[in-house]
Amino acid sequence: MNAYMSALDLKPLMLDLLLVFTALTVLLIDTLMPPGRKRSLGHLTGFMLAGLFGLSFLIDVTGTAFSGAYVGDAWALFFKRVFLACGALCTLGAVDYVDERFPNRQGEFYLMLLASTLGMTLLAGARDLILLMVCFELMGMPLAVMAAFGKTEIEAGPDRQGAEAALKLYVTSAASSAITLFGLALVFGLAGSTRIDALSYATMTPLLTVGVLAAVAGMAFKIGAVPFHMWIPDTYQGAPTPVVAFLSVAPKAGGFAALALLLHRGFGAHQAAWLPAFLGLIVLTLLVGNLMALPQSNAKRLLAYSGVAQMGYLLMPLAIGTEQGNAVLLFYLAGYAVTNIGVFLVLHAVCAHQPDATVDAFAGLWHRAPGLALALLVFLLSLAGIPFAVGFWAKLYVFMAVYDAGLGWLVFLGALLAVLALFYYLRVARSAYFDPPAQEGGVPVDLGLKLAIGTCLLAVVGMGLWPNTVVEAAVKAAAVMGG
């Protein structure tokens, strides 16, 4: 009886259940409200997600559910907060776009975003392979639908590439799921259990090595690590920019949550089998991401390859498998989330009514919209790792953790490529501040978009000047995961 009640303990799932309630509320309002009066639906969704983020600091969600297949702890809670914050910011930033372009489909858009966010929040606490993959699919499938939302638009420009963007995202997601499942099936067959903690007891054999490497390769597709990154530039260019803001951060954080669980809890005892290939993955990701970003003239493709390079820096602390590395990973994810969402929302504000999102579209932004130009500069400096934005501390902590693990050569490579990245980040900033305006007039920005960009800006500056609060939360969460 006690075991049965433990399986039904829903306390650790309270935030997830409230997220389901949010989705049902949006569905009900969308069903009952006349088509022409749904402009408040996006604001409602965004503020409800923000409310759940705030509520996460007030309620206790620790414990286990489903007989231990799901665990609520500080590690899962940290990721839940990241996912809820990403969902709230991207929803508020997308309100003007969704109301203008999809006046009769707002409900579907926000329901897809909520469904994907639900998959992420559940993924953070999954401790069973079956639950992990179910959460991954719940996270991924709605993203392909959101990427295709612009496919029926008649305007010229990147929205007409929505179908191609969604197809590439869907095909690569399906391929990665198949590869991951193949690898996990081999590991399960040798371990005799779907529990992630039990995988470490499997005997090391060549077949287990194949299974581990296949699982890691499948996850590398999800986060866009080289050579599994081929979908990212085309998907980012073709999908609606508010969708890309969410796609570029939240599912990547979900992928790292799963990778950390598998590599440290499941395959930690077999690190010798996967570490050389993993280090090669990091080197390729850093090199290709930074070098391919240099010649890009399309801002979305430039930020896409920038995102690939950022995945290399995020993989570095994951490779060392220590508690310090896990804490650095969490801090980097939190800082990168608000930074990258912010820069894509600025891009959305500037290029919402332009045929293509080129770097030249930012020309003279300082004269047309000084506030947006300042936000853009701060976000770019954070991505580049310049003091004292949050990106500086994130990269510094990564380099310190990796150096302490005896991988000084990797720190040297990462620092060298960080200097190289300044060239393409500052090219965008130069266009905004020194080039003559591409067109006259200001840049209209919706209230929700202003709020989202302003929140990202405050978070980037606040975490850059006072990082200790987030660092302490990351250390507490990493202590649960161990190393």
pLDDT confidence of residue 315:
94
pLDDT confidence of residue 424:
92
| Two tokens, residue 123 | 């993924």
Q: How many CA atoms lie within 13 A of 410 on its CB side?
A: 29
pLDDT confidence of residue 37:
64
List the domain boundaries for the chain: 2-481
pLDDT confidence of residue 36:
62
pLDDT tens-digit profile, the chain (483 residues): 444 444 457 888 999 999 999 999 999 988 887 766 666 788 899 999 999 999 999 998 888 888 888 998 999 999 999 999 999 999 999 888 888 887 778 888 999 999 999 999 999 899 999 999 999 899 988 998 888 877 655 443 444 566 777 888 888 888 888 998 998 888 888 888 888 888 878 778 888 888 888 888 888 888 989 888 888 998 898 888 899 999 999 999 999 999 998 888 888 777 877 888 899 999 999 999 999 999 998 899 999 999 999 999 999 999 888 889 899 999 999 999 999 999 999 999 988 766 677 888 888 888 888 899 999 999 999 999 998 889 999 999 999 999 998 899 999 999 999 999 999 999 999 988 887 876 776 777 888 899 999 999 999 999 999 999 999 999 999 988 765
Q: Which amino acid is at 192?
A: G
Q: Which amino acid is at 420?
A: L
Q: What is the value of pTM for the model shown?
A: 0.93
